[in-house]
Amino acid sequence: MRADGVRLDEHNVADPEQWLSAADLAELLGLDATSLAEEQADPDDYEIRWQRFLEQLGRHFGFGDGAKVTSCFLLFDRPDREHVWPFTIYPTYGAAGYVEVVFLYLSTRDPFTDPAIREDFRLRLNQIPGIDIPASKLARRPSFPLSVLADPANVRALGEILRWFRDTAER
């Protein structure tokens, strides 16, 4: 990407000034993004609603650069502070992929340096069926199966947790 002129930071995340939205890409291709979205969007499709929700959170994705295993993480920008992310997703590792909760990395980023806040995050996650993170993993990188998110109810619950995470990260 650097060879193509993309500026990357020390975490290999593209400079936000160079990000392109779907509307930007449509404009570059001479397409009307609004009419395309209206034609293709099913308002009842939870995947579309999930994508819109993530956009509303003000997030962007980072991607790992592993040679054998790829990863994706949801980054929250915080002015004058380091990026923070709740998970790393490994979609192709193992039989069905998994979601790693990065308590280890959160423990070095305010306000998640407070163990009580990480514990609150853990307890919220454990309310989702299929997630059972033990308290002993609060300083590690525990995971849960990606298949947990195949259930739309679990995706909605995770959405509420991500709102809480964003609001907490902005303190």
Q: How many residues appear in the chain? A: 171
pLDDT of residue 71: 80
Whether residue 76 is found in the same domain as residue 125: yes
Average pLDDT value over all residues in the chain: 79
Residue 121 sits in the same domain as residue 162: yes
Expressed in percent and rounded to 5, the helix, strand and coil fractions of the chain are: 45, 15, 40
Per-residue pLDDT averaged across 70-78, rounded? 77
Question: Do both 60 and 115 map to the same domain?
Answer: yes
Rounded Cα–Cα distance for residues 112 and 100 (Å):
16
- Residue 72 pairs in a beta bridge with 63, 89
Q: Any long-range contacts for 107-114 (C-beta under 8 Å, 24+ apart)?
A: 107/139, 109/81, 109/82, 109/84, 110/81, 110/171, 111/168, 111/169, 111/171, 112/84, 112/168, 112/169
Strands (DSSP E) found in the chain:
59-63, 72-78, 81-84, 87-90, 98-101, 143-145
Q: How far apart are CA 71 and CA 92, in angstroms?
A: 8
Q: Are 80 and 89 in contact (CB under 8 A)?
A: no
Judgement on whether residues 51 and 19 belong to the same structural domain of the protein: no
* Mean pLDDT to the nearest integer, 40-48: 59
Q: Are residues 19 and 79 in the same domain?
A: no
Statement to judge: residues 152 and 106 lie in one domain: yes
- Structural domain boundaries, residue 162: 44-169
Query: Quick one: 35 and 116 in the same domain?
Result: no
Residues 25 and 100 in one domain: no
- Mean pLDDT to the nearest integer, 90-101: 79
Asked if residue 49 and residue 120 are part of one domain, the reply reads yes
Q: Are residues 101 and 81 in the same domain?
A: yes
In this structure, the answer to whether residues 50 and 14 fall within a common structural domain is no
Is 48 found in the same domain as 98?
yes
Number of domains in the chain: 2
With a threshold of 0.85, does the pTM exceed it?
Answer: no
Q: pLDDT confidence of 47, banded at 50, 70, 90? A: low
| Position 62 confidence tier, pLDDT thresholds 50, 70, 90 | low
